[in-house]
A and B are shown apart, each in its own frame.
Chain A
Amino acid sequence: MTDLAPVLILGGRSDIGLAIAHRFARAGHPIVLAARNAETLKDEQNDIAVRYNVTVALTEFDALNTAQMPDFVGQLDPFPKIIVSVIGTMGDQSAGEKDLDAAAQVMRANYEGPALIVGLFAQRLAETGNGTIIGISSVAGDRGRATNYIYGSAKAGFTAYLSGLRNRLADKGVHVITVKPGFVATQMTANMDLPQALTAAPTEVAEKVFQATQSRRNIIYVRPIWWLIMRIICAIPESIFKKLSL
């Protein structure tokens, strides 16, 4: 089992990121959890190591600190073959409408940071000719809506970036997966009242991501119903859409 590809989780504290780490560890993959204040993830590190008998490392990572990114990638040992970016932040839409810094922060954490870092990894993986890049984006990026277009537009950017990366690396042996989870019951959404039938558990996201990695899927919606919902939302003519409150 020792030669299974190491998996790097960027955003290792998030419920979705941890669930993905558990899923790969269960299959025997070594894990690296990257996060801000990584040392506070010792319990989670230990948990995964005890459960699955794999090595789990912690490493410090801030997606807004772009200057540090080349060093971050350079110091990783063993070098991961499967890179998962879970980084993101919902932000406060109404604050972002008035406050440029707040809006910029959301844009950077959902687009700039994740895109730049997976771009760096893509470069390295392309050299060796294999590996998988998995980006957690969002259905919110499929069409901008009044209530969350700052977050949504950044996710749209990330989705487009992943799409381009996939296109570029298709014949270089590196596979890129875009994940659009739909609603997920996590800390991010703990205070929201989400419809049960449309809301996935983090373990469900993890299972889908794991399977998509095995079967080299390109774009996945976690609950299939979301594919349909988004097709409908995207099909509404703009003249009508602009008057709706969704």
Chain B
Amino acid sequence: MTRTTDIMGWGRYPRKPGQMVRPRTETEIRAHVAQNGIIARGNGRAYGDSAIGSASTLDMRAMNRMISFDDTHGQLVAEAGVLLGDVIDAFLPRGWFPFVTPGTKFVSLGGAIAADVHGKNHHCDGSFGAFVNWIDVMDAAGHVTRASRFENTDLFAWTIGGMGLTGVILRAAIRLRPVETAWIQQNSLVAPNLTAAIQTIENTQAATYSVAWIDCLAKGKNLGRSIIMLGEHATLSDLPAERRDHPFSTPQRKKKTFPFDAPTACLNKATVKLFNALYWRKGKQSTGTSLVDWDSYFYPLDAILKWNRLYGRAGFVQFQCVLPLDQSEAGLTAILTETAAAGQGSFLAVLKRFGVQDSKLSFPTEGYTLALDFPANAKTLALLDRLDAITLDHGGRFYLAKDARLAAATLHKSDPRMSDLRQMRLKSGLDRQFSSAQSERLLL
């Protein structure tokens, strides 16, 4: 099936008219990849233009069959269009959970591998790629190669974090984590400013999960005030007695769908401020430990389907950078000051400590990563350019899965690995075969 539609990412900015195909079999994919300028698309949760093909977009969501599960090692083999939420649905009741999950369960395995996504446990466990045993990748000739840490190691390294630019991931073997319950023991701490937040995060590195929400409208001595949320998989003995018989059953969350494009006026300075203030007050009141179900803990936003419409038709953009440890506090201070001064608070400002990671293309590296989102308009786009400059000044780099507007020169200056990717692609002809609006914009 082939359609021409407006194709966009989760931020709904930018939108590009293009052709979208939805293959159901490997044979159908083979027929499509012969065409130049194609890119695989998972569930469209990358914010910008990563999953918009320059000529054609390969919607992988019908390639969503599970293939096998080995319950001694927790290895799941599945097609790339399977969603992380499907994996949880199928295996959490049997005591398994993904080792690494991003802040939404509506991502495909292919998307999670191609962006090498990180979770709240990066400082302990690393990124999604660390739990990928092997992948099958189809090249433009339709040839399928199995790649892992033991065979076709180059292809494996380029594809994890490679944003679909090395071919189409057809299927993957991933490792799941054994868990005793579907609950998380959460511990929330409050930090009055950035220095305290970093201190608290550094002191709690032993926690499996750790993430901080920053009130990004706070200024002056309150700059960077945060709520730090730590978490551990609850064991059976952590559960109240009446839950121990059904450790994997949690209350069903009611799903709501954001019904329409909000008028732009809905999301102004006042509402953002109100939201941040309320969140702060609520967070402060609920500090201490509590038992939280997996869905509410990992995926608070998933409860409101299509929440991206909150930003109206113009869409929104994310800014996410990572700064090396020794530059983190200075760089974060500069970014938060600039943001607060612009009065462009973001609904969600998330701070996270990354552990050591050294990979060919993946985003994470030891340091602090900050994610902010803004309505897409001229004023915020100008602000983002200033945040780019601050990031560069502090030796940081940018997350392609969130990007919709970075300049090629900025990206290449921040991250020399991107030039390696470009050279490799030019040499092998991959640059013409697999390309996205993003790879064209960023000269990848």
Mark A residues whose CB is within 8 Å of B.
Answer: 26, 43-44, 46-47, 50-53, 187, 190-191
Residue pair A50, B68 in contact (C-beta under 8 Å): yes
Residue pair A46, B94 in contact (C-beta under 8 Å): no
> Bound state CA distance, A190 and B90, in angstroms?
28
Residue pair A52, B90 in contact (C-beta under 8 Å): yes
Cβ-Cβ contact count across A and B, 8 Å cutoff: 25
- Most A CB contacts (10 A, CB to CB) among B66, B86, B89 go to B66
Residue pair B66, A50 in contact (C-beta under 8 Å): yes
Task: Add 18 more A-B contacts to A46-B68, A47-B67 (CB < 8 A).
Answer: A26-B89, A43-B65, A43-B67, A44-B65, A46-B66, A46-B67, A47-B65, A47-B66, A50-B68, A50-B90, A51-B66, A51-B86, A51-B89, A51-B90, A53-B94, A187-B1, A190-B1, A191-B1
Within 8 Å CB of A26, what residues of B?
A: 89
A-B contact pairs, 21 of them (CB 8 A): A44-B65, A46-B65, A46-B66, A46-B67, A46-B68, A47-B65, A47-B66, A47-B67, A50-B66, A50-B67, A50-B68, A50-B69, A50-B90, A51-B66, A51-B86, A51-B89, A51-B90, A52-B90, A53-B94, A187-B1, A191-B1
Within 8 Å CB of B67, what residues of A?
A: 43, 46-47, 50
Within 8 Å CB of B1, what residues of A?
A: 187, 190-191
Within 8 Å CB of A43, what residues of B?
A: 65, 67
Contact with A along B63-79 (1 / 0, CB 8 A): 00111110000000000
Mark B residues whose CB is within 8 Å of A.
Answer: 1, 65-69, 86, 89-90, 94
Within 8 Å CB of A44, what residues of B?
A: 65
Instruction: List the 7 closest A-B pairs by CB distance, nearest first.
Output: A47-B65, A51-B90, A50-B66, A190-B1, A43-B65, A47-B66, A50-B69
**Least CB separation from A15: chain B residue:** B62
Within 8 Å CB of A187, what residues of B?
A: 1
> Bound state CA distance, A147 and B90, in angstroms?
42
Within 8 Å CB of B89, what residues of A?
A: 26, 51
**Least CB separation from B94: chain A residue:** A53
> Bound state CA distance, A68 and B434, in angstroms?
50
**Least CB separation from B66: chain A residue:** A50
> Bound state CA distance, A44 and B90, in angstroms?
15
The minimal Cβ–Cβ distance linking B422 to chain A, given in whole angstroms, is: 37
Within 8 Å CB of A47, what residues of B?
A: 65-67
Within 8 Å CB of B68, what residues of A?
A: 46, 50
> Bound state CA distance, A222 and B89, in angstroms?
24
Within 8 Å CB of B65, what residues of A?
A: 43-44, 46-47
